[in-house]
Each structure stands twice: as C-alpha cells, then as structure tokens.
Structure 1
C-alpha cells in the first residue's frame, strides 16, 4: 500500500477518491464459471438466483466463513452439492480479470498524486487472491474489505469505518472531501446520505466527466 503523506485537494475540496472494486476495477461474475458447469441458461439462472444467490454470497462478503456458508447451503440443497461446492472451490474462475478503463482511471489519478482508497464488499478469504495477482491494488493507501470488518455496504457502519481508516492517512478528513465510485446505485446513495460525494459508476467516460466537474485531474 502507498504511504505518502502528501496533501492534495481539488478545486472543489476533494482530498481523495475511493474505489469500489467489482464492476469498477474487476470483472467478477459467477456466470464466468457456471456457463461451463450448467450449460442450460434457464437452469443456470435459477441456480444463481435461488441457490448460490447474491443474498447468500453477500453473507460471506459480510464475514461468514466460506466453509460455514457452503455447508449451510449443502444441507439445504443436498441435490446441488457439487455445484454449490464449486462456487468457492473454483472461485478464481469467476474473477475474469481487471476492467481496463477503470484501472486506467485509477493509474491516471495516482500519477497526479491524488490519494486513493478502496472500499469493497469482498470475502476476507478470497480477497488475498486478488491482492496477490493484481499489482494495481497496491496503489491504494488503504483498502477496507467488508469480510474483514464483518459488515457490508450499504450499511452506514462500513462507511464510518472507512472514514476513520482513511483519516489516519489524511488528518481531519471530512466525508465531503471524499468522492466514492461504486457500480451499485444503492451503495453510492448510502455514501451520499452520509455526506460523501458519490458517483454511480455506469461507464468510465461518464465517471471521468463527473470527476472533472469536481476538479479532479483526469
């Protein structure tokens, strides 16, 4: 992680940019794996909606262990055991790789000495794989990982944890001095409600435009 203590502020008073990871910097999608395992589209959609569902996965992102989450689901749906176990046994296959426009934006901000932080809903057990394999993650001064904090976006508490952590790098940091990029409108709105600037990241060109309007050098 970067440790520079240089002070930065945009013309609008932004002192740092906070990145979500999935959908902004990473192409993560269970479909990447399950297209191989369940060829029938309707069957696959049912499985990923009702068995290995987003609500189930987010519990692991919130701190439940992969083993506990897996065993609970296998007990509920024993007929799907092989497909359930594949979710975390073959988890790296769901992480197709970086979203290059998002990474280019990250690097462009870093090149201008803008302080950068991460705030991601991600299991504490799978996040080390990303950290070990994607060097751009080491640009960040600090990364708040939901699974390590036992709380998830859009709950207020994780944004408060993040503000406190980032403030250790940027003393007297205020919510209004952060701009947060997240591909979830719900998560962006939660940050906004707490006084952060937030951009619902839909495409990089629109995000860049909004960052420029806040005086950031992109």
Structure 2
C-alpha cells in the first residue's frame, strides 16, 4: 500500500508503530487508536484507516510446520492452551481464517484481559483461568522477552526460533512430534 520503502518505514515506525499497535493488543478499541493516530498525522488518515481494514494482509498464511507441532502435541494428548498478544476483534477474525486457532483447549487474548506479555499479570491470569500449574507447564513464544516474562512468573520456557528447533526441544523433554 505504501510502495516507497522510506515512506513505509516512516509509517510503520512513527504513525502506526509497533508500540501504537501494542495498545490495541492491550485492549484499546480500534476507533480510539485510529483517532489518536489521525490526530498526530491528519494527512495520513486514509493510510491509518487502511491499517486496520487490511491487517489480514500482514498475516497472509499460517506456518504449516509450526501448526503441525501444535496439532501433534494435541494429538499426543498434551493439554495445549494459547496465550497471545492480539487485539480482541482481529484475533476472532484470525480464528475464522485459521481454524487451527480454535483447536487448543482455550486461549487468553491480551485484548480481552487488558494485559500483555511480557507483563507478569497475563501469565497469572492465564494460569488461573485454565487451572495450570506454571512450574509444570511449558510456555513457548517467538519473542525472547515473553519467554523471560513467563519464566519470571514460574513457567518453564522455550524460545521459538523454528519448528525444527522446537521439535528438538520438545523431544528433549520427551515429547516427540513430527513436523513433516
């Protein structure tokens, strides 16, 4: 939507930045987020509104091997729940686009509970909601600081780097899952 690389970089770092988007993950409604960004950059109103309207283009597909690991764990009888930083409404849209997101026993969506990873509160909310003993649970995340947050909350943690490395880490814990 923004073909010029410098313009796109500016837009994603200053207008609709990661920090701005994280507030939707924390529960801020999209209309409020758009109004805030438009107040800062009124000349970019169309682009700002297009961000939410077209968010699905930023997540165009699932990562099949990663999904295979999750489904393999579930098929092996492992209790799998999800804990995600995601705006409430866009997560529900993602569940419709990617039905595998409905397969685990449940999910804590940051936008629903008003807390985000790596803050301790969201790990505690998730553990309480699903009756999980963090010391006996494994938290997997693709962001190292989220894994560290989980560890600080008493969880075991694995930093996801690739499906192959995750499968090896799980095998080291006695959980063999095929990803092919």
- TM-score category, normalised to shorter length: over 0.9
TM normalised by structure 1 equals 0.79
- Identify which of 158, 175, 179 aligns with 2:134: 175
What does residue 150 of structure 2 align with? 191
User: Does 2:19 correspond to 1:55?
Assistant: yes
Question: Where do 1:21-100 residues align within 5 Å?
Answer: 37-100=1-64
What does residue 9 of structure 1 align with? none
Q: Offset of 1:41 from its aligned partner?
A: 1.1
RMSD, aligned CA = 1.0
TM normalised by structure 2 equals 0.95
1:67, 1:198 → 2: CA distance?
35
1:217, 1:115 → 2: CA distance?
15
1:138, 1:58 → 2: CA distance?
23
Q: Offset of 1:111 from its aligned partner?
A: 1.3
Q: Is the 8 A contact 1:64 1:147 kept in 2?
A: yes
> How many equivalent pairs are there?
177
- Identify which of 159, 163, 166 aligns with 1:204: 163
Deviations 1:50-93 (A, max 9, x none): 11100000000000000000011101110111111111022222
What does residue 214 of structure 1 align with? 173
Q: Offset of 1:188 from its aligned partner?
A: 0.5
Bigger share in strand:
1
- Aligned to 2:68, what secondary structure does the other structure show? helix
Q: Is the 8 A contact 2:120 2:152 kept in 1?
A: no
Q: Offset of 1:213 from its aligned partner?
A: 1.3
Unaligned 5+ segments in structure 1 are 1-36, 168-172
148-157 vs 83-92, which deviates more?
83-92
User: Does 2:89 correspond to 1:125?
Assistant: yes
Aligned structure 1 segments of 4 or more residues deviating by more than 4 angstroms: none
- Aligned to 2:34, what secondary structure does the other structure show? helix
Q: Is the 8 A contact 1:124 1:146 kept in 2?
A: yes
Larger RCO, structures 1/2 (Cα 8 Å, 6+ apart): 1
55-64 vs 192-201, which deviates more?
192-201
